Amino acid sequence: MIDLSVKLASLSLKNPILLASGVWDLPYTRIIDFGKLGGVICKGVSLKPKEGNPPPRIAETSCGIINSIGLENKGLEHFNKEVLPEITKLKTHIFINVFGETIEDFAMIASRIKDVAGLEVNISCPNIREGGDSFGKDPKMVFSITKAICNETELPIIVKLSPSASNIEETAQAAKEGGATAVTSSNTFPGLVIDIDRKKPLFKNIAGGLSGPAIKPLALYNVYKIKNAVDIPIIGSGGIANHKDVIEYLIAGASCVQLGSIIFNNPLAPIEILDNLSYWMKEKGYNNLRDIIKK
């Protein structure tokens, strides 16, 4: 019997596959058996409703997509009343991605979400003007936000780091010192698309966030750098498209991984990756994931 279970700090996950925030919503439960996943991270929730960015909000790139959604959501009150009761019915670990425009926003949201496996703190969205990536680049801000949140909740805190930080080891260290339980290795990478007919950036916000297989080597390198500098569990994310990508992330130092935009390309990717991971381990003679990462 192949054992895919992993530990994320004190949490036991049945396998290392989590669904990233921002790519799925409840309609996906019609297609994916969420009970088979290690966990899911819900789309970012803010204190007040946020209408999101003007269209266009997405463009395709080679082996990836670039988005400028702008964290559209109906706010914390709606989330707690309408969404959370449905989400918590899913038979897997539920993490809630939260974001704010000020430190106080983050603390307030953290104090008002209960009964989930943990919070993922979004200090790294490249698509909003206030907060977001500007917080994630600054280790002092990362520390302050993390500490403010940890003061308000007993839930495990995962800080989603920004790939724009000039030194991601420093922001990971700041998250740890602020009290984070773990870090998500990185958000989407800021990038640009030009509309050649209009001779202007495609998105009204200029930059968007690049994701998909196009960014995998960059995102994977972030995991490796954090692992070698900071003693904190890492959730690897960025461009995972198959089981071999998952193995690369685990070897680089991730405790588990997030799948994101690949579910647009193939909604069954999470389940297929789990199956293929088991086949691969069986073929190679591994009984559990710990054996893979042994040097």
Position 208 contacts other proteins (CB under 8 A): no
Position 86 contacts other proteins (CB under 8 A): no
Tell me, what DSSP letter sits at residue 3? B
Position 162 contacts other proteins (CB under 8 A): no
Active-site option among 42, 63, 125, 256: 125
Q: Which is nearer to other proteins, 181 or 261 (CB)?
A: 261
> Where do we find the tokens 């690049």?
210
Q: Return the closest-CA partner of residue 180 out of 203, 144, 146.
A: 146
Position 23 contacts other proteins (CB under 8 A): yes
Q: Which is nearer to other proteins, 23 or 230 (CB)?
A: 23
Among 25, 33, 82, 86, binds other proteins (CB under 8 A): 25
Q: b/e for 166-196, b at 16 or more Cβ within 10 A?
A: eebbbbbbbbbebebbbbbbbbbbbbebeee
Q: Which is nearer to other proteins, 30 or 199 (CB)?
A: 30
Q: Which is nearer to other proteins, 31 or 206 (CB)?
A: 31
Position 243 contacts other proteins (CB under 8 A): no
Minimum distance between the CB of residue 29 and other proteins, rounded to whole angstroms?
Answer: 10
Amino acid at 76: L
- Please tell me the distance from the alpha carbon of residue 278 to that of residue 144, in angstroms, as a whole number: 41
Position 62 contacts other proteins (CB under 8 A): yes
Got the DSSP string for 178-247?
HT-SEEES--PEEEE-EETTTTEESBTTBEEEEESGGGHHHHHHHHHHHHHH--S-EEEES---SHHHHH
Two tokens, residue 171: 């922001």
Q: Return the closest-CA partner of residue 66 out of 208, 203, 195.
A: 208
Position 241 contacts other proteins (CB under 8 A): yes
Binding footprint of other proteins, residue count (CB under 8 A): 37
125 belongs to the catalytic site: yes
Among 5, 7, 12, 51, binds other proteins (CB under 8 A): 51
Q: Which is nearer to other proteins, 10 or 62 (CB)?
A: 62
Minimum distance between the CB of residue 128 and other proteins, rounded to whole angstroms?
Answer: 13
Indicate if the alpha-carbon torsion angle 267, 45, 64, 270 is positive or negative: negative
The residues assigned a catalytic role are 125
What does the binding site for other proteins look like in residue numbers (CB under 8 A)?
A: 22-28, 30-31, 43, 51-52, 54-65, 67, 69, 72, 212-213, 241, 261, 263-268
